[in-house]
Structure 1
């Protein structure tokens, strides 16, 4: 009996290490939104989703659990894959707010599945709650409207300081902005990182900032409404 009990304890610990413990063992979330024009306006380019060209608005990249030391858990339960039936009521919103821009064109399911498997399985949230939380966070941090309110519109260059200030004044917390480079070599606003508490419901001050591609003091906020893409597939 003692041997069997020991085996059960070992199995429990292994299972805990692979999912149960790691699924809650993190300190905060990065909520990451990306600007589609900057994703597409690079040498790599992009492909619009099979559902059509996305709106000119920030879109969700992911909701990523992180540790305070800058590391992060990932792929915590390799047996858990996305069950689209569990989020069927969210799909229309996700097609609008969480579109895929990867090539070849897709409907978003592969992208969402990747986000769930890599990041969502390392949280204590079920699939529906994970995706719904990200959608609600986007509504709380309506970045495009915050920037427009500050006079920052797509299609022009702005100081990085003015963009950061507009987001902080609108959301109440400082954001980390990652840039990439367009085909002419200009730095452009690419991704915006906001920090969120473990409940995935409240923005917080970032315990640590990510290490992404930096920005110059003056950056482009490119227009997506006039963007044409040679790799666009329908």
Structure 2
């Protein structure tokens, strides 16, 4: 999952033509990117092997890749000092995290994925949210941005069929109310497919907003893209 996160961070920064910087002052933060991904599109890439979480094979859904804060210039905030990740505090959320924010890496890293997300991104919001509110915000925002339901409501389903990228965006806007930024990758056969969907949230982590910065340029998507099954 770190590989996926680094890929999107790099792409976002490239398209924005802004540098990623470490920020210690959270008063500069403006908003969050809420990034969700279709793990079926990650796992079917050539040379990629996925492992199910300890809880077993999950139900098909978009899952959280990260909740990443950025400042008023569009720069990402990351690694904002050392903070102790308290596993005991997070335990009541683990059932939801396993379902909605899982790692499919091999070997399974389980809690290490959440530790990584907190240390890299959550520490930058600790004066605003704190550890538990940070994870709760991501989970609650994910439920508000129910991407799979939005797509299925428009007849767009994960069945290996080809769909118009514009139709996918339109379905998300119609149901969720905000313009998404969609990133694609390619499966083992070389077909362009939906991979990550990014929306924005305000700095309180409570509500979705129109993204102050939308990356411009090639997002890896063709005009028609595949929506693969979740797992095979």
Query: Which TM-score band (shorter chain)?
Result: 0.7 to 0.9
Partner of 2:17: none
Deviation for aligned residue 1:151: 0.5
| TM-score, with length taken from structure 1 | 0.83
Partner of 1:30: 33
Q: Does 1:74 align with 2:47?
A: no
The number of aligned residues is 206
Which of the residues 108, 111, 130 maps onto 1:109? 111
Partner of 1:161: 166
What secondary structure does 1:27 align onto? strand
Q: Does the CA contact (< 8 Å) of 1:70 and 1:210 recur in 2?
A: no
Give ranges in structure 1 of 5+ residues lacking alignment. Answer: 1-17, 229-234
Q: Does the CA contact (< 8 Å) of 1:38 and 1:180 recur in 2?
A: yes
For 1:1-234, list aligned pairs within 5 A.
21-43=24-46, 44-77=48-81, 79-106=82-109, 108-123=110-125, 124-155=128-159, 156-210=161-215, 213-224=219-230, 227-228=231-232
Give ranges in structure 2 of 5+ residues lacking alignment. Answer: 1-21
- Once residues 158 and 138 of structure 1 are traced to their aligned partners in structure 2, the CA distance between those partners, rounded to angstroms, is 23
Q: Which runs of 4+ in 1 moved over 4 A?
A: none
Name the larger-Rg structure: 1
Q: Does the CA contact (< 8 Å) of 2:28 and 2:72 recur in 1?
A: no
For residues 143-193 of structure 1, what are the alpha-carbon distances to aligned partners after superposition, in whole Å with 9 as ceiling and x for unaligned?
111110000010111000000000011111100001111000011110100
What secondary structure does 2:26 align onto? coil
Deviation for aligned residue 1:105: 1.8
